[in-house]
Structure 1
Amino acid sequence: MLRAHAVDDVRRAERAAMDALADGALMQRAAAGLAAAVLDLLGGAYGRRVLLLVGPGDNGGDALWAGARLAGRGARVEALLLSERAHEAGLRALRSAGGRATRDLDALDPALDVVVDGIVGIGGRPGLDPASVAALERFAGVPVVSVDVPSGVDVDTGRLDGPHVRADLTVTFGTHKVAHLVDPASAACGALHLVDLGLDDEALGEAVVAALQPDDVRRLLPRPGPFAQKYSRGVVGVRAGSGTYPGAALLAVAGADTGLVGMVRYVGPDAIAHTVRSAHPEVVGAGRVQAWVVGPGGGDDAATMLAEARADGVPLVVDADALQHVDGPLPGSVLTPHAGELAAMLGVERTEVEAAPLGFARDAAARWDCVVLLKGHHTLVADPAGRVRATTTGVPWLATAGAGDVLAGLVGALLAAGLEPYDAASVGSWVHGAAATRASAGGPLTAGRVAVHIPQVVRETLAGLG
C-alpha cells in the first residue's frame, strides 16, 4: 500500500530519525537520492547544464547538496538564490564542487537541460512570490525536477491557490505526501520517485490517503473456492438504460459481466433487455441479488429504479441519473459521482469540488453514511470513517463517454462477490484504470474496450504479473 502522510506527521518522523543519526545525515540521504534521480533523468552528468532554484529552507539545502554531487560528476551547475538566506553548508559544498551561485536572474543562460525546484518544501504556503514566478517563466519549457513537492501547492490538501511549479518529476523523501495523490496538485507532480530515508512507520502514524498497489489488489480480489457454484460466487443485478440512453445498460452490464461473480441479472425496458441478452447471452432477468447497480442512463426512470433496488435491502452502487434521487443515508452502498454530479448533490459549484475533491469526498461520505467514489484524474474513494484511497492507475484517454457505466458495473460485481464497499470501490477503480491502460496502449479507447480488458487485468494481477 502506498501511503501519504500529513506534514506534521512527516516532520515528527524526521525529527525522530535525526535524533538517531549523525548531524546532517538525513539531508545527505535526501540529496544523494535527488542527485541520482536527476542523473537518471539526464542520462548522465558530464556537460549537462543544471539550474537550482533555491529557497531559504532545508528544501533549498537538499537542492544545493544534490547540485554539489552533480557538479562533482561533471555537470555545469548554477544556483539562483531566491532569498537573502540560503542553506550555508549546502552553498559552500556547491561552490567547492565547482558550482556557482547568483541572485541575478538575468545573468543566467536560459539554455539548460534541467531546472531543480528547491524553492519551498512541505512547510511552504500555497502560491509563489514574484521572484520565483519570474524565474520559472524565464526557463519555461525546460524539464523541472521538484524537491519533495512542487513549490506552491498545498501539501496537506492537494489544493492549488496561486502560481505553482508544474514538475516533470517530483523526488520526495521518506513517504509520500497528500499532494502527490490528490487532485489538483497531483497533476502538477509529474512522475513520482520516493527516496527511502528510513523513517519509522510508528512515528509517521496513520496515513491521510492511501493508494492500492498490485499486491493489495491481488489480496482483495475475490476468487472462487473449490466447491463454488454460481450463486455462492455472488449475483449482481443491473437496473440501467432508457429509450434515450440504451447504451448505458450495455456498458454497465459489460462492466459487471467480467467473470468476477457467478451471475448477472438485468432489469429494464424489454427492448433494451433483448439487446443486452443478445450481447451477453449469459445474463438473466429479475431475481434475488447480492448487490444492485442503479442509474446509468436511467433518465426519467432513475427514481423508480433506485426505489425498487432499495426495497431489496442489499448494497447498491448508485450512479449517474440515480444520484439526484439520493435523499438520505445509504449505509453499505457506494455512490459514484463525477465532480459535476457531486456538486449538484451538495448544492455547490463544480469548480469548488474540482478545487478541493478530498474535502468534498469526505463530507459526502459522512453525509450519506456510505462510500463515495469521486471520479477524476486520481479517483478518490472515501468512507464515512474518514478513510480515503486514491486511484493512480488509468490514462487520460479514459475520460470517454460510458467509462463510468463500466466502472459502476464492475464495482457492483465486486460488492456482490462479497467485498466490503470501501474495498469494492477502490479495487474496482484500480482494475478499471489498469484495464483502460491496457486497452489504450498509448492511444484512444472506448468504454467497451475497457470492459473487454478487465478479465485479463484480473488474471495478470492474480498471477503476480501486475
Structure 2
Amino acid sequence: MRTAYNVETVRAAERALMATLPEGTLMQRAAAGLAAACADLLGRRVYGARVALLVGSGDNGGDALYAGARLARRGAGVTAVLLTPDRAHPGGLRALRGAGGRAVTAGEGVGAVRRADLVVDGIVGIGGKGAPREPAQELVAAAEGALIVAVDLPSGVDADTGEAPGAAVRADATVTFGTYKPGLLVDPAREHAGALRLVDIGLGPWLPSEPDVEALQHADVADLLPRPSAESDKYRRGVVGIVAGSARYPGAAVLAVAGALSGGAGAVRYAGPATDAVIARFPETLVTAGPPAEAGRVQAWVIGPGLGDGSEARQALVDVLSSDVPVLVDADGLRLLDPQAVRARRAETLLTPHAGEAAALLGLSREEVEASRLSAVRALADRFGATALLKGSTTLVADGTRAIRVNPTGTPWLATAGSGDVLAGLTGSLLAAGMNARDAASVGAYLHGLAARALGSAPITSLGVAEELRRVWLDVSR
C-alpha cells in the first residue's frame, strides 16, 4: 500500500530523525536517491549529458545541488541556475563546484536550460505555495523538450491538497523523500508529477501508523476480496438489491445489475420498472416490478442510477434508507438526498457522486470540487456522516475518520455513459458480500479501473467494463 502524510507530519518526522543523525545526513540520503533516479532516466548517457539544476533557496535546492555534484563526478556537465544566489545552499554549492559543476544566475541560465538533456526542478519544496514566479517561470518554459525531474514534488503543486494553481511545473518524474505526499497521488497535481519514485531516507519509525492518504495495490485488494467457503450458498454469500432505471432510462438498471453480478454477492434482486430489460439480459436476476419493500431480503441496497425524480423514486429512496442494511446512493438518488435522513441511519451509507453531483451536494461549483478534491471528499463525508466515493480522474474514498483512499487504476476512457452505473452495482455487491463501506468503495473503484485499463487505450463501453470484471478479479486474486 502506498501511504502519504501531510507536510506538518513529514516535517515533525524529519526533525525527530535529524536529532539522531550527524548534521547533513538526511540531505545526503535524499541527494543520493535523487542522483540515482536522474542517472536511471539518462540511461547510459550520464557521461557527457547536459544537466541543468533549477535551484531555489531552501533545502529542496540543496538536494538538487548535492545530486548535481554526484552526477558531475560521473562525467555529466552540470549547471546550477541559482534563482536567489545569495540564499543558495552553501554546502551544496561547494560540493557542486568541487565536482566540476558550475553555477550561474537566472539571467545567465536560460541557454543552459534550453540545451539540457535533463532539468532538475529544485525551485521550491513541500512547503511552497502557489505557482513559481519569475524568473523561475521563464526557466521552466525554457526546459521544454528536456526530461524534467522534480525534487520531492513539482514546484507549484500543493503537497497537502493536490491543488496546482497557475503554471505549476509538469515533470516527467518526481523523486520524493521519506514518504509520499497527498498531493502527489491526487489530481490535478498527480498529472504534474509524472512517474513517482520514493526514496527511503529513514523516516518510517517516526511517522504515525495512520497516514493521511493511502492507495491500495494488488495485494491489498486481493486480501479484501470476498471468497465463498464450502458451506456457502447464494444467500449466505449475500444478496444485493438494485433500485435503478426508469421508463426513460432502462439501460441504467441493466448496467447496474451487470456490475452487481460481477461483485461477489450470491444473488441480485432488482426492484423497478425495467424488469423486462433486466431479465432479457440477465435471466439469473430476481426481479419485482413493485417497490423495494416487496423485493425480499437483501444484505445491501443500491439506489439511484437512472431512477428519475418522480414520486415513486422519492418513496423508493425513503424505503431503502429506512432499512437496516448498508445502502449505496448514486446518480439521481443523490439529488433527492436529505442529509438528516442519512445521519439518522444506523447502517452504513455510501455516496458515489461525480464532481458535478458533489458540487450540488456541497453548494460549490464543479471547478472548486475538481481543484480541491481531497477537501471536497472530506466535506461530503462530514456533512452526511457517511462514506463518500468521489468519482473522477482520481477517485477518492473518505469516511471522515480514517485515511482517505486514493484509487490508482482509473483511466480517462471511463468517462463514458453508464460506467458509474456499473461501478454502483459492483460496489453494492461487495457491500452485500460483507465488506464495510470504505473497503467496498475502494475495491470497487480499483477493479472498475483495472477492467477499463484491460480494454486498452481505445473507446470502451460500460457493458464491456462489466464483462471484463471477472478477468481482472482473477488477475488480482492470483
Change (3 A) 1:15 1:396: same
Among candidates 325, 328, 334, match of residue 336 of structure 2: 325
1:57 match: 58
Is 2:456 the partner of 1:452? no
- The offset of 1:184, in angstroms, is 2.0
SS state at 2:3 partner: strand
CA contact (8 A) 2:17 2:206 kept: no
Distance in 2 separating the partners of 1:116 and 1:363: 36
Q: Deviations over 1:23-53 (max 9, x none)?
A: 2221111111111111222223122221111
- Normalised to the residue count of structure 1, the TM-score between the two structures is 0.95
- Normalised to the residue count of structure 2, the TM-score between the two structures is 0.92
Is 2:168 the partner of 1:164? yes
1:89 match: 91
Q: Deviations over 1:118-149 (max 9, x none)?
A: 00111212221211111111222322110001
- The offset of 1:458, in angstroms, is 1.6
Among candidates 155, 175, 181, match of residue 151 of structure 1: 155
2:25 match: 25
Among candidates 250, 263, 275, match of residue 273 of structure 1: 275
Among candidates 111, 114, 117, match of residue 113 of structure 1: 117
1:8 match: 8
- The offset of 1:109, in angstroms, is 5.5
Aligned residues: 460
Change (3 A) 1:419 1:109: closer
1:73 match: 74
Q: Structure 2: any 5+ residue segments left out of the alignment? A: 288-294
Distance in 1 separating the partners of 2:232 and 2:304: 30
Counterpart of 1:90, as a letter, is G
- The offset of 1:229, in angstroms, is 0.6
Distance in 1 separating the partners of 2:408 and 2:424: 18
Q: Deviations over 1:347-380 (max 9, x none)?
A: 2211111111111211111111110100111111
CA contact (8 A) 2:4 2:181 kept: yes
Instruction: Write out aligned runs for 1:239-388 (5 A).
Output: 239-258=243-262, 260-269=264-273, 272-285=274-287, 286-301=295-310, 302-329=313-340, 330=342, 331=345, 332-385=348-401, 387-388=403-404
106-115 vs 372-381, which moves further: 106-115
- The offset of 1:163, in angstroms, is 2.6
Is 2:209 the partner of 1:208? no
Q: Deviations over 1:52-97 (max 9, x none)?
A: 1100111111111111111222222111111131111111221222
Distance in 1 separating the partners of 2:240 and 2:113: 63
Distance in 2 separating the partners of 1:322 and 1:133: 46
Counterpart of 1:428, as a letter, is G
RMSD: 1.6
- The offset of 1:328, in angstroms, is 2.2
Change (3 A) 1:395 1:90: same
Q: Structure 1: any 5+ residue segments left out of the alignment? A: none
Counterpart of 2:34, as a letter, is L
Counterpart of 1:379, as a letter, is T
CA contact (8 A) 1:17 1:200 kept: no
Counterpart of 1:364, as a letter, is L
SS state at 1:308 partner: helix
Is 2:146 the partner of 1:142? yes
CA contact (8 A) 2:302 2:428 kept: yes
1:37 match: 37
Distance in 2 separating the partners of 1:320 and 1:444: 23
